[in-house]
Amino acid sequence: MPVQIGLIGGGNITETHARAAHAIPSVAIAAIYGTNPEKVGRLCREYGGQPYQDFKAFLAHRPMELVVIGSPSGLHAQQGIAAAQRGLHVLTEKPIDISVARTDALIAAANQSDVKLGVIFQDRVKPDIRRLKHWTDQGVLGKILFVDARVKWYRPPEYYGNSKWRGTHELDGGGALMNQGVHTVDLLLWLLGDVTRVQACTATALHKIESEDTAIAILEFANGALGTLHATTAAYPGYPRRVEITGSQGTVILEHDRIVAADLRTRPADFGSDSPVDTNPSASSAAVTDFRGHQAILEDFIRAIENNIQPLCDGAEGRKSVALIEAIYRAARQT
């Protein structure tokens, strides 16, 4: 029997989840919940599943083993807790939620109900990023000295203006950093470890939103490395994300999730790469047209359920990026 999953959200990212699920032969979409009946109905017609506008009725649908949450960020913990209490495994879009307190409540609910909890950070499955992770773990770069991460993206005014939740404190939890920059925050923590000290400045430079569209942070890592992080949705026309990591044994530059330069004293055995290119136009559009990363995360999560192991990014891992972003926001308010 296929794994029966439910989708929560009904918006653009839920369609990405539906496409990812549809591409896995062992998965079937059992139900889709959303507040827009037209969108939910269309998704069900195209990808299968029973449509719901009543959340409690959706959670009661059976058979259903897990839910994938693609609703506004500020609803992730609330909806995830409700699902966990019904015995459903929970895979949520990034960020896991918009506050550490709510994140901790979701983690506790999942533990209490003995269900798996995972967070969709698809960068962790991309081949060149995994290769860079292997290099940092194996000490190929030597002692990590500093990192420079730039997310200079652009979102047009209608990206925020046509949305009731983007850029709001209540449901987005922030702006460029909590929404777009969170992927890079997770990446830095995954590659380099915990951050112990933060200085920051934020601004609403271009868009008419409650939260920031530009953030700059100086980071001090537990391993002694220093870093800078720049995240914005105001850099027209939008540029590929770039991460430069320098260690005592060389420098590696990652651009648009590909290693574009690796100047190392000693070349590792897996130095060459022919990995497929991520085709998502992230720098200038929120559309996720390339769903392979989401598919890989969903496949990993199902393996975690079937083998009773932790998913690639579990609740505790997903919590780290929210905690660091909260620290950056606190530091910016004190500047």
Q: What share of the chain is helix, strand, coil (3-state, %, to 5)?
A: 40, 25, 35
129 SS3 class: helix
Longest dimension (CA), the chain: 60
pLDDT band at 280 (very low <50, low <70, confident <90, very high): low
Residue type, 144: I
Whole-number percent of the chain with pLDDT over 70: 96
- The per-residue pLDDT for 283 is 61
Specify the residue for token string 């392979």: 292
CA-closest candidate to residue 68, choices 34, 42, 101, 102: 34
Q: pLDDT, tens digit, for every residue of 190-217?
A: 999 999 999 999 999 999 999 999 999 9
> Sorting pLDDT into bands at 50, 70 and 90, what band is 271?
confident
What pLDDT was estimated at residue 199?
98
Q: Are 144 and 225 in contact (CB under 8 A)?
A: yes
- As a residue count, the chain comes to 335
17 pLDDT exceeds 60?
yes
195 CB burial (10 A radius; 0-12, 13-18, 19+): buried
Q: Are 72 and 160 in contact (CB under 8 A)?
A: no
Q: What is the pLDDT of residue 208?
A: 97
Looking at residue 269, its pLDDT comes to 81
1-4 CB contacts, 8 Å cutoff, 24+ apart: 1/63, 2/26, 2/27, 2/28, 3/27, 3/28, 3/65, 3/66, 3/302, 3/305, 4/28, 4/29, 4/30, 4/63, 4/64, 4/65
221/205 Cα distance (integer angstroms): 28
Using one digit for the tens of pLDDT, what is the confidence trace for 53-90? Answer: 999 999 999 999 999 999 999 999 999 999 999 999 99
Task: Using the predicted structure, report yes or no on whether residue 285 has a pLDDT greater than 80.
Answer: no
Q: What is the pLDDT of residue 107?
A: 98
Q: With beta carbons less than 8 A apart as the criterion, state whether 35 and 53 touch.
A: yes
pLDDT at position 270: 81
Statement: residue 274 has pLDDT above 60: no
pLDDT confidence of residue 287:
67
